Amino acid sequence: MKRFLDTIKHIWKIEELRNKILITLGFIAVYRFGSFVVLPGIDTAALNQYTAQAQKGLQGLIDIFAGGAFSRASIFALGIMPYISASIVIQLMGIAVPYFQRLQKEGESGRNKQNQITRLLTIAITVVQAVSYLINLQNQSESGVIVNEMSQGLFMAVNVILLTTGTLFVMWLGEKITDRGIGNGISIIIMIGIIARLPQSIAQEVANRMSGEGAGLIVLILEVVILLFVILLTVMLVQGVRRVPVQYAKRVIGNKPQGGKRDFLPLKVNASGVMPIIFAQALMFLPAAFAGLFPDSDSMGAVSVAFNDYTGWAYNLTFAILIIAFTYFYTAVTINPTQIADDLKRNGGFVPGIKPGKDTSDFIDEVMSRITFPGSLFLAAVAIFPAFAMIFGVDQGFAYFFGGTSLLIMVGVILDTIQQVNSHLLMKRYDGLLRSGRAKGRATSSVGGLA
């Protein structure tokens, strides 16, 4: 404890690091304040009914990432998700569209053009989502419950502009945190939205366990221990890498010999991050939605019941299979063994015992296939673990933190932020936040992976 307090003092002594942390906290405060500003024309006293419905299905997933702003009909209701969707689309187009492939090879100018296209696509996606969101609000207010006396045209026009502006403002906050604060701004905003629900979830779980019908303090302590164990396993998943040894040939540039050193290529066990869970979760809503088109069919009714039961074996088995499939797919999309082999050959590097070029590409592809399988199984287990927590009586809000997208995002962002803080501390010859482990100022990011 004393060492931790000394580290906090060292952080406060470094003016640059102190300013970055204070700026980050200030931007986070602005984001949290804006998430409570309700759209005009909304009856705040009647939002409870809509909030209960917004916790289900895809709306509940969006509400988690938006920190509750979605269910509060806030100006930040759509949050940063349109920007994330636009970034994913641009990244996938970089695999299939030659124009975006050329932009990726143009260096800084190409990245600037990609950022401009991503922002324009964010605006288009936000407008479409804003219209859908407002139509859903109006459908909830057919009896005049939520929307106050306001013409439909004015309500749609004003609030589409506000929702679009809110998303762009959140995107700007994320970029400013990245430039002037500490950590990746977009990731931090998503993490803050998730963590914002944690105190309420813990309070609800404590109240349930301490009530007369609960199981008492012992079960609560057991839940905390299991949660810490799951977090430990998630850290291992996020940080796990397969180090491929790389030898660089010695070259003479001018009169100085360079190279000749031995390094390693870090291939992550979970190179796809949380994207397989997000894709799989989006597809899991399709069977129930399709079954709703045939309300008179008994078989479709059974499908709807099965895929609306988040703790059922059919739902979780399908969910796990989709996660494994998408893990392989997204890893194949983001990791290009041929490009890695070409980069190694261009820089005079080679894997000992493997010929440069195609043999190196085949070797990297084989290694990625081997490590992706256990990584996909582990990712699927983490994703469905909240369902097991709910089966054993954990409150639904608190069970979400036992795994899934929420836990993976929190662990990844926290580790990345710790690495940046440690980098500042080590530059000033202070000890880092952690005495051991790979989070001591040197990141082990995947080659070609998502930030």
Which residues does 289 contact at the CB level (< 8 Å), separation at least 6? none
Confidence class for position 291, pLDDT limits 50, 70, 90: low
pLDDT band at 163 (very low <50, low <70, confident <90, very high): very high
* pLDDT at residue 26, as a whole number: 92
pLDDT digits (tens, 9 = 90+) for 105-159: 777 888 888 889 989 999 999 998 888 888 877 776 555 546 666 677 788 888 8
Unique residue bearing structure tokens 């929702």: 163
Q: What average pLDDT is seen over the chain?
A: 79
pLDDT at position 29 is 92
Q: Structural domains in the chain?
A: 1-196 (1.10.3370.10), 200-451 (1.10.3370.10)
Tell me what the mean pLDDT of segment 363-373 comes to: 90
- 182 touches 420 (CB < 8 A): yes
- 10 Å CB burial of residue 239 (0-12, 13-18, 19+) is middle
Whether residue 342 contacts residue 360, with contact meaning beta carbons closer than 8 Å, is answered with no
Is the pLDDT confidence value at 314 over 90? no
With CA atoms as reference, report the closest residue to 68 among 40, 25, 37, 23. Answer: 37
What pLDDT is attached to residue 352?
86
Letter string b/e over residues 169-205, b meaning 16 or more CB atoms within 10 A of that residue's CB? ebbebbebbbeebbbbbbbbbbbbbbbbbeeebbeeb
Could you tell me the two tokens for 214? 């609960």
**Is the pLDDT confidence value at 293 over 80?**
no
- The span from the CA of 120 to the CA of 117, in Å, is 5
The CA–CA distances, whole Å, from 275 to 92, 123, 303, 395 equal 12, 22, 25, 26
Q: In this predicted structure, which of 84-98, 242-256, 294-308, 348-362 has the lowest mean pLDDT?
A: 294-308
pLDDT at 50 over 70: no
The pair of three-digit structure tokens given for residue 376, joined into one six-digit string: 């996909």
For residue 258, give the H/E element and its range.
Answer: strand 256-259
Answer for the pair 426, 443: CB distance below 8 angstroms, yes or no. no
Closest to 81 (Cα-Cα) out of 155, 132, 156: 132
Q: Which two tokens stand for residue 201?
A: 């979830």
**How far, in Å, are 81, 295, 398 from residue 24 at the CA level?**
20, 50, 27
Cβ atoms of 168 and 123 within 8 Å: the answer is: yes
Lowest-pLDDT range of 43-52, 175-184, 203-212, 372-381: 43-52
Categorize the per-residue pLDDT at 444 as very low, low, confident or very high, splitting at 50, 70 and 90. very low
- Tens digits of per-residue pLDDT, 30-46? 999 988 888 887 777 66
Is the distance from CB of 368 to CB of 377 less than 8 angstroms? no
Q: Does this model's pTM top 0.85?
A: no
The residues near 197 (Cβ < 8 Å, ≥ 6 apart) are 64, 67, 68, 397, 400
